Structure 1
Amino acid sequence: MSLSMILPMSAFALAASISPGPVNLVCLSSGTRYRLSQGLIFVTGATLGFIALFIAIGLGLYSAMNVMPGLQALLRWAGVAFLVYLSYRLAVDDGRLTEGDTHKAPGFMTGAVMQWLNPKAWLASASGIGAYTSGNDLQQVLIFASLYMPICWLSLASWVYAGAFLRRYVQRPQVLKAINRILAALLLASCVYLVLE
């Protein structure tokens, strides 16, 4: 594959990965609430979950979904339910920071599953594959996925680091509680968008 295709693929991957979405908001929240290492575990799960989804869509999953509208609706409602659950957890968080408390932190599997329930991930995969690969060409899909993986990981990690930066300068529980509630409201807004779409 030529450099003339690699650069646009990389630019697309960066724009799709770093722009705000449900996973990015959870990354930001993880950075404000938990140890940096916990946030990066979530990022790794989200990145690998996205790459698995990307490859599956590249191999025809998206086409199969169009044939089975019931499955599409089921995934949409599962995504909405999962986002509502995450919104609830953010909204009820008390804003207290305890370095040793990692059992509630979203982990690797949460990140991986969240991408499969994330409409932004489906859209980014389908539109990227449609724009930059021809048909079901596995080699092109794998090259695109290999470009996407580090870009996605670094983009999501930047949201965790932004949260850690906020945490360093905003230590008062009331402020963190307010930030978490704003993030919860944004996640709920994305649910409303999904329901109305």
Structure 2
Amino acid sequence: MSIEVWLSYFLAVVILSVSPGAGAVNTMSTSIRVGVRRSIPAIFGLQAGLALDILLVGFGLGALVASSVTAFTVLKWAGAAYLVYLGYRKWTDQGTVEISRGQAGEASAWKMFNQAALVNLTNPKALVFLVALFPQFIDPARPQLMQFFILGLTLVGVDILVMFGYASLASSLRQLLSSRRHMRIQNRIFGGLFVGAGALLASVKS
């Protein structure tokens, strides 16, 4: 994998991680309840779920590459189209993200870890997104294991940093995310980024 391909992938996963989703909402909600330091188990629980998703997608795509390069190429273009579709959905989304303060409670670190892991494991969109994303950067003519390892490690590393950022800024972000006007602006920014990413990824050569 060339540095140019990796940098393109890095940009894509930054967009993916920063764009508010179930993981970000879980992290912010937990941080609001128990603080940034005590929300660390929840952040790493998200990564555990994400890592299992990456393994599932990696094994599946590896088998697909071994059986049919043509099918892999079709999946690559379908994935790029899906990214553009996500951008359209994000651009037109008029909703807000609701974060409940709730009670601080005494949830154990293990319970927060497990609950956060399930957020990613039970979110089919995470799997679909990874299936759409990974083929853009995998060279089917080269060994697969190291390529998947680099992609997975990069994604988890970026997501950890972003989730810590969300946890730290949870209080100030709460007001922005509960404002329909602010959320509409944010949705259009991320929607445009997704569409641009889909167009860019379709042209990337491993």
Give 2:129's aligned residue: 124
Which segments of 5 or more consecutive residues in structure 1 lack a partner in the other structure? 65-89, 171-178, 183-197
Structure 1 residues 58 and 35: alpha-carbon distance in aligned structure 2, compared to 1, 3 A threshold: same
TM-score if structure 2 supplies the norm length?
A: 0.58
- The question of 1:141 aligning with 2:141 is answered no
1:105-146 Cα distance to aligned partner (Å, 9 max, x none)? 861111112211113311331112121113482221111111
1:1-197 to 2 correspondences below 5 Å? 1-60=1-60, 95=101, 98=104, 101-103=105-107, 107-135=112-140, 137-165=144-172
2:49/2:120 contact within 8 Å kept = yes
Structure 2 CA distance, aligned partners of 1:7 and 1:146? 14
2:57/2:131 contact within 8 Å kept = yes
Identity of aligned residues (%): 19
Which segments of 5 or more consecutive residues in structure 2 lack a partner in the other structure? 65-97, 181-206
1:41, distance to aligned residue in structure 2 (A): 1.1
Structure 2 CA distance, aligned partners of 1:111 and 1:146? 19
TM-score if structure 1 supplies the norm length?
A: 0.60
Structure 1 CA distance, aligned partners of 2:102 and 2:147? 47
Paired residues, number: 141
2:26/2:116 contact within 8 Å kept = no
Give 1:77's aligned residue: none
Structure 1 residues 164 and 104: alpha-carbon distance in aligned structure 2, compared to 1, 3 A threshold: farther
1:30/1:163 contact within 8 Å kept = no
1:159 maps to amino acid = Y
Structure 2 CA distance, aligned partners of 1:160 and 1:7? 26
1:45/1:107 contact within 8 Å kept = yes
RMSD of the alignment, in Å? 3.1
1:141 maps to amino acid = F
1:27-75 Cα distance to aligned partner (Å, 9 max, x none)? 11112111212322111110121022112201107989xxxxxxxxxxx
Deviation beyond 4 Å, 4+ runs, structure 1 = 61-64, 95-98, 164-167
Structure 1 CA distance, aligned partners of 2:103 and 2:11? 36
Structure 2 CA distance, aligned partners of 1:108 and 1:4? 35
1:154-193 Cα distance to aligned partner (Å, 9 max, x none)? 11222211215568xx9xxxxxxxx6xx9xxxxxxxxxxx
Structure 1 residues 4 and 45: alpha-carbon distance in aligned structure 2, compared to 1, 3 A threshold: same
Structure 1 CA distance, aligned partners of 2:136 and 2:158? 18
